[in-house]
Amino acid sequence: MRKQTAMNRDWIATARTLSEALPYLQRYTGAIVVIKFGGHAMGDDAEMESFARDVVLMRQVGVNPVVVHGGGPMINEMLAKLGVVSEFVKGKRVTDAATVEVVEMVLSGRVNKRIVQAINDQGGKAVGLSGKDAGLIVCDQTDPALGFVGTPSEVNPLVLRQLFEAGMIPVVAPLGAGHEGETFNINGDTAAGAIAAALKADRLLLLTDVAGVKNAAGEVVTELTPDHIREMTASGVIAGGMIPKTETALMAIEGGVRAVVILDGRAPNACLLELFTDHGAGSLIRAPRP
């Protein structure tokens, strides 16, 4: 028998939050949400656990999440341990035959399975795969000078849809197969954008280590159109590491994704705040409404 206790303000606030979330829970029932997971949160056990719990909650309330992850720091660590020396061209790593073997081992092995286990530990049913599985991603070579670095040319999301139907949560390592069977490493954001476009996802969430897209005054812009992004890039307001993320956002929207959000993955429950509250999180990018 439960004990009678005085009402607690925190309990009341929790109940109110759940009640206010109802229209958003209804809105996203059956929706496909692709999440690019990376940055600081991947290396922190507590943040990994929190992220996994949020993903399981999303699946529990009827959302179909797909997690696409990176793993650059883990790759660098393993290359150093194995004594694999990398060359760089214009600041970008050359992924030769020896390097791509390590990349595949780390991404499809250590990193992918850690995320899968974290989701399963929270009661979800996660399945790990890479873009090489079931013909998910076929790549063209991005630049011969960079070796086995690929750009998605074909994406067949059938296996992901089958996993949705089975109640599973796909966790995808950003690797793809070449037309001759080669293994290509793909930028994590690019892979997530290509998968989101192929699925015509409702949302693509790009988790990063910054609060969102900032204007010239350094303030986060909460909502942008593709034209705003192009103008801010041309003027130099969007620069550095934010450029490839916004380029991914534009390509995803052109490919049929309803909206892309660039948000701070370090913020507690960032994905839930974005989907299930009225204020969202980060910078939302979508085409202007007709």
The dihedrals phi and psi of 147, each to the nearest 5 degrees, come to: 75, -130
- The residue with greater pLDDT, 167 or 89, is 167
* Residue 197, phi-psi category: left (phi > 0), alpha (psi -120 to 50), beta (remainder): alpha
**Of 108, 105, 103, whose CA–CA distance to 86 is shortest?**
103
Q: Which ranges in the chain belong to alpha helices (H)? A: 9-20, 22-27, 45-60, 72-82, 97-104, 112-121, 158-165, 188-199, 226-234, 242-254, 270-276
Residue 71 labelled as part of a binding site: yes
Residue 72 labelled as part of a binding site: yes
pLDDT value at position 44?
79
pLDDT value at position 25?
76
pLDDT value at position 1?
47
The dihedrals phi and psi of 208, each to the nearest 5 degrees, come to: -140, -170
Number of separate helices (H) and strands (E) present in the chain: 11, 14
Task: Tell me the mean pLDDT in the region 96-109.
Answer: 93
- The residue with greater pLDDT, 16 or 149, is 149
- Whole-angstrom Cα distance, residue 28 to residue 258? 12
Residue 185 labelled as part of a binding site: yes
What digits encode the pLDDT tens for the residues 166-175?
Answer: 999 999 999 9
What digits encode the pLDDT tens for the residues 235-280?
Answer: 999 988 899 899 999 999 999 999 999 998 888 888 888 888 877 7
pLDDT value at position 18?
72
Task: Tell me the mean pLDDT in the region 55-61.
Answer: 94
The encoded tokens of residue 149 equal: 């670095």
- The residue with greater pLDDT, 43 or 79, is 79
